[in-house]
Structure 1
């Protein structure tokens, strides 16, 4: 019998650049699906907020490349080409088939330098790096509520943009198994309020800092308050408030752990406020900068509360509401958006 040579198909490689903590949860269901289907996943990251802690919790392999330049425009200008060069050098040896990112301005340019297709997602219309990312992306995916603004600003004519149904948070939350609510027998003495602080180092944020300090002290007299910091700087600053009913989480907490214990979520920016709102928890945005379109959408739909100057009486009134709402439609849209992204990645990867 003649010798038969069997050629195994080459394993497709998907590169994901995760540069901030919300992106870990976003890509969690995609990573599981793609690995189960035989794709090789390459994850690069940088040390910002609690991103690396969350990656470790996931048990993912990752390569830390470059750091965060803070809010200094000059340092940002110098840091961008440096990290881009480092990423290209690292990935040139690996030869990924496609790159995908949510809010990584580096990813589309690096993919262009590697001559591979890229998919770029973002839901923050105020991020200055979008213009660079849009220019070099093979495909840009934005949420449907940005379609009007994209047309108004001329993005649709200039760049290859598609719009996905629903909101970003619906994409990955739609893939969760049913979340367990606390057992009725375990009645709490005090309601738990989780507070996510404002993004001090973010380029897009120019709002107030430490504006919630007095409210935290007042809430701590009536409720159990858990502060969720974004950096060591915030941990150090808020340590002085720590007490019997005010705690500061010095390590990254598991999302499900927070969800099961949380009775009310207060967020000064970022994805977590929208995540809790989407999953039916009473969630208050206290964002101090120009509201994003996604936040306006949820507020107008009465799925999220908004107070620029939140008072103790406002918190009491929300607890008195016994707040409940149904987000089946947004989660259904999330399923459709998940399938759209999965299909697009596989088309470029194969």
Structure 2
């Protein structure tokens, strides 16, 4: 549409498996991808190397860096005693790029819900209805979305079957397990290699218990936030044409 209207187009994406990349790469004026995303992968999706600009860090750092001070104070705040809290984000099965399993975390939730406070963050009404079923009695399923700052205050462990919220938790220093079932993105491979995130396609209750006993909340990942600020400035300069 922007090409037909003669409007300059800058395209950003961190997912090398999104089919929408192909047409977007063809018609955009500039393509911005994370530094960890292999250029050959986007070239195979018809991206011209001349258009590509790589920004530092991960996209989540681009919008989280201004809140470093706030999230640092939340992360260091003492929690009340009691059950530890696990936030869970199910699989993005309505997304075009996702070809993995559905509802594969059901048994895990049932096994953990007595020992821990489980807050499940559904993707749409169908998932919400599923996890409000009698089998999951005791699992908290919010009616509305929760502010990231509220998650940060309460979360002892984040288990994510998707991408963005999982990486947000990593950047903010929350112990994080990715249970993504499809091919991992290059940005996720980087975070795993750095030891900032664990990836388990088949996650057992025993692994969760052990990790919670041996992990702790940290300050936000300052390197990722620093890179996020640098990426923000770079993106802004590209947008204004400098």
Same fold (TM over 0.5): yes
Partner residue of 1:337? 231
Deviations 1:108-135 (A, max 9, x none): xx21121110111000000011010011
Q: 2:148 aligns with which of 242, 255, 269?
A: 255
SS at match of 2:192: helix
Higher RCO (Cα < 8 Å, 6 or more apart):
2
Q: Please provide the CA RMSD for this pair.
A: 1.9
Q: Does 1:143 align with 2:34?
A: yes
Deviations 1:134-182 (A, max 9, x none): 1111111001111443477385646611111111111111121421236
Residue 242 of structure 1: how far off its partner (Å) = 4.3
Partner residue of 2:241? 347
SS at match of 1:266: strand
Partner residue of 2:128? 235
Aligned-partner Cα distance in 2 for 1:167–1:182: 24
Aligned residue runs from structure 1 range 117-128, under 5 A: 117-128=8-19
Unaligned runs of 5+ in 2: none
Partner residue of 2:81? 188
Q: Aligned pair in 2 of structure 1 residues 155, 145: CA closer, same or farther (>3 Å)?
A: farther
SS at match of 1:247: coil
Q: 1:218 aligns with which of 100, 111, 135?
A: 111
Deviations 1:282-332 (A, max 9, x none): 011000111111111100110001111001111111112234477222211
Deviations 1:185-242 (A, max 9, x none): x523100000001012111001000100000011101000011001101111111144
Aligned residue runs from structure 1 range 97-108, under 5 A: none
Deviations 1:24-54 (A, max 9, x none): xxxxxxxxxxxxxxxxxxxxxxxxxxxxxxx
Partner residue of 1:167? 58
Number of equivalences: 237
Partner residue of 2:23? 132
Aligned-partner Cα distance in 2 for 1:154–1:213: 35
Partner residue of 1:299? 192
- TM-score normalised by structure 1 residue count: 0.64
- TM-score normalised by structure 2 residue count: 0.91
Aligned-partner Cα distance in 2 for 1:345–1:314: 45
Range moving further from structure 2, 257-266 or 153-162: 153-162
Unaligned runs of 5+ in 1: 1-109
Aligned-partner Cα distance in 2 for 1:326–1:232: 32
Partner residue of 1:313? 206
Aligned-partner Cα distance in 1 for 2:169–2:89: 12
Range moving further from structure 2, 229-238 or 319-328: 319-328
- When Rg is computed on C-alpha atoms for both structures, the one with the higher figure is 1
Aligned-partner Cα distance in 2 for 1:177–1:338: 14
Partner residue of 2:222? 328
SS at match of 1:162: strand
